[in-house]
Chains A and B, each alone.
Chain A
């Protein structure tokens, strides 16, 4: 399936951040985007064009569950929360990401020296 992910993030990064963010608390789409933005000190900006398809993909994979609820402003919103499968996926992703990152770091250091 083509990834409609147009951001500069590497594949899977958005999902990882969504899972991590939702692990702390269930959130609706807009709040989720804001939470990621704030947590990254505004370094990561989640495009809406990527966010909603990503959420649908993750719903389909069973990593997330969604239900209709009310936002802080008393607006009807769909609230996403992480499932057990989602937590497992997050752990896998994080360890894979750690390995990748340490690999990249080593390469960068080696070429620097």
Chain B
């Protein structure tokens, strides 16, 4: 799980344009300025591209905190192998 968070960090920093941003599994849309619907789309697109996966509409709406996103990534990645 920590590897996924490590990979997510530069994506979050790039999307939300904050080089000092730190994330944990508890980080949610409430904690990051700019993580609104537009930011969420840009984040999801970047995460999908980086990990080579695709989220469904429901998954996209549920992935509103880092923990949920990490969990989804792990499930999707495990299905790839």
| A in complex with B | no
